[in-house]
Structure 1
């Protein structure tokens, strides 16, 4: 009898522990996704980010993608009491016709594609519409982007493997080059950190409650921190823009080996990828000359020359005949060739 009771006790204990483990898994691992799904059932959200994705930061946690913020009007059309009047008032302030703006005040909740200032924000407030708010929107890629060859760029999935990297509910964008591609699964995210949200009842009818919320409910998002120093990188790129139309510069910390800057020219703007396609420039601007494989050329001849002198194979006065482009196996950069030339002058050339 005692043995049977002991067996039942341990069986119940195992069942209890399994239940605790399952509840812990739901709470800790699935909790954020379930909470987001529950919130989506009772609200309609407008992301206050153009791309819901982790940041690529320098060693001082400064964004390298040139992210910036703008004030935008967020519209919840089903809460607008006087959309035609709203369009007539706002149209001259954003430089559009009332008819065009009236069309943009319809449809599902969304952001208007116009940057607004404090004057427009006050006008929106004076309209008294619960369906119109002004909110700060974060744009991930901006004009101040640095190390674009290193960080890479985004685009739509180009095959099934890349499509698998698009998270459900996230933007249909994946990393196609550089660190954006290599760490795509790390940087990708389900939800925006900030959203403008309209709450609805169980039947999906608007309650009239609108708020801007900030959340870290999705633990999938991660930032990527590099050894790059944005200040050093910016200085290198500014100098290259003036004096180095084609080439690469890499700056290392001699004590640690950290890469402080890595720049390549010509360069590209990650926001305008389509403008390079078909222009004949695509093959050049997307090449990262800081990491691409090229013959070492004169950079390595210091090593070869030092070894030859050290072994006594040549002296500074040793002579050679340079055939230029006809030389084999490695042709000279100077196609006509220098003819008869001594070691010292050959090294200088």
Structure 2
């Protein structure tokens, strides 16, 4: 072969080799680097979005179990072109969606698939294999597909008042943690329920209905709530309390382990809750009410701290005491009073006469000052929207009658169940007031791609308000309440318990003209190294000892098993 021809062949070979190498490199790049993205683009060209949901960060409990953000509910996708039993499918959709049958039939005449969203159909409706299940024929139709539609909120509704809800757009929090930490939870993308169809509207084999998650939000949030304890509290409340609240705290850290209010609501159906005259959107754990005899804990603490009373001091109770021309009755009035009674037993039997006398000894300035330092009369710092500060009187303008009223938790004083939990935690942990903690950690959704590091919110340093000796005496006094006093129904057999009952006058009467009272029980367990403070409030529950104390015992017995000492 001539030399020139050989050179040309070699040159062409080099060119072909270079071109081939470039093609191989490009194919490798497409296959390995951008192949997935291109496949998604191709797929999305055939995708029809049936429902969208703005992406928000997840809300977790203390053990990283999801409270909001990743739940499933059954929904139905209808492919009109594949429907065989037009009448039965139209009847099902019309009934569950509340739409006229004619409009549904018109919708079925279009080839485009559509979604009957999660929550419209009840779960039993999807048991298509059961002969007795509703809509059995329609759900077995080849043009009907049952899917699991992702929803943000737990179908069981656990922690609704803590978690809160979002605005109608689904993008911004309006209450609870959703509002408090919206700057972390809100996202910019949308997740979609999408269906992949051919030109005739039939689902593509192997694709069908898919959930396209979208880009993650900035971060999720880890709370101090324990899902198991929260579920226990809500179950007990559903059994026993129509209107009221329960707060469970760890007095050692200030962690809020559970917070529930009744009536409750569904975060995915705020419209219904807004029309409910029972005001289910109100978080009663953060709302202020007269404390009644629960305030006697403050009176006893002030007297013991100041040395103006001892457990052995004796009072005479004739069933009433006159202060400045006003008669204040004890609940023992009809029986002629308690007679001679020690300060210790006055706590056990909640003697108004003894505590009014004690409060007059202590004086208004000391009482109000200690109440303030124990966290009453101001928001707790938990920062949830809607928290009320409550009310304390101005000591400078209080009359003797005002002091007498304050001694029994009446008059110009209101407190929230959360504030009472903070107060009782101070007694339980030896005199230290801790700010309640609800948020443990801000958790980046994608730590590898995020410029934001995980942020741990540590408990704040406590402030000493009471001496350890005063707290020891208070615990002894509160133990008599559950052992033989007004709160025996709150006794916990394993480890013991202590606390204080309260029946607070509301100023309202029932249909028979009898006064209505709120019921309280605030206490902690076990007696040695307490790890749970539990506050039970029952709106118009009448008797703290009969209504609220049994709820405390039931929650304490269950929660102590769920939250052992090792935690």
Q: Same fold (TM over 0.5)?
A: yes
More displaced, 206-215 or 217-226?
Answer: 206-215
Q: Structure 2 CA distance, aligned partners of 1:74 and 1:148?
A: 29
1:45 and 2:40 correspond: no
CA RMSD, 1 decimal: 4.7
Aligned partner of 1:111 among 108, 111, 115: 115
Partner of 1:191: 190
Q: Contact between 1:71 and 1:135, CA under 8 Å: does it hold in 2? A: yes
Larger radius of gyration: 2
Q: Structure 2 CA distance, aligned partners of 1:348 and 1:212?
A: 56
Q: Structure 1 CA distance, aligned partners of 2:173 and 2:62?
A: 21
1:54-76 superposed Cα distances (whole Å, 9 cap, x missing partner): 43332334343597534433245
Partner of 1:166: none
Report how many residues are paired. Answer: 282
Partner of 1:175: 173
1:267 and 2:261 correspond: no
Aligned partner of 2:278 among 281, 291, 297: 281
For 2:236, what is the secondary structure of its paired residue? helix
More displaced, 100-109 or 242-251?
Answer: 100-109
- Evaluate the alpha carbon distance shift between residue 232 and residue 214 of structure 1 in structure 2; reply closer, same or farther with a 3 A threshold: same
1:90-140 superposed Cα distances (whole Å, 9 cap, x missing partner): 34666859755423434854312545344589977874x6xx543222333
- Evaluate the alpha carbon distance shift between residue 314 and residue 141 of structure 1 in structure 2; reply closer, same or farther with a 3 A threshold: same
Any gaps of 5 or more consecutive residues in structure 1? 1-26, 157-170, 337-343
Partner of 1:305: 300
Partner of 1:238: 235
- Evaluate the alpha carbon distance shift between residue 103 and residue 61 of structure 1 in structure 2; reply closer, same or farther with a 3 A threshold: farther
Partner of 2:224: 227
* Higher relative contact order (CA closer than 8 Å, sequence separation 6+): 1
1:181-206 superposed Cα distances (whole Å, 9 cap, x missing partner): 223343334222x63332689xxx97
The CA deviation at 1:273 is 3.0
Query: Could you tell me the TM-score, scaled by structure 1's length?
Result: 0.60
Partner of 1:15: none
The CA deviation at 1:146 is 1.6
The CA deviation at 1:52 is 4.8
Partner of 1:7: none
Q: Contact between 1:87 and 1:98, CA under 8 Å: does it hold in 2? A: no
For 1:175, what is the secondary structure of its paired residue? coil
Partner of 1:72: 75
Q: Structure 2 CA distance, aligned partners of 1:292 and 1:305?
A: 25
For 1:140, what is the secondary structure of its paired residue? strand
Partner of 2:150: 138
- Evaluate the alpha carbon distance shift between residue 116 and residue 98 of structure 1 in structure 2; reply closer, same or farther with a 3 A threshold: farther
Any gaps of 5 or more consecutive residues in structure 2? 1-32, 130-134, 330-398, 412-476, 478-499, 503-567
Q: Contact between 1:45 and 1:198, CA under 8 Å: does it hold in 2? A: no
Q: Structure 2 CA distance, aligned partners of 1:348 and 1:138?
A: 44
Q: Contact between 2:224 and 2:256, CA under 8 Å: does it hold in 1? A: yes
1:266-300 superposed Cα distances (whole Å, 9 cap, x missing partner): 43333443334355332xx3332323455666445
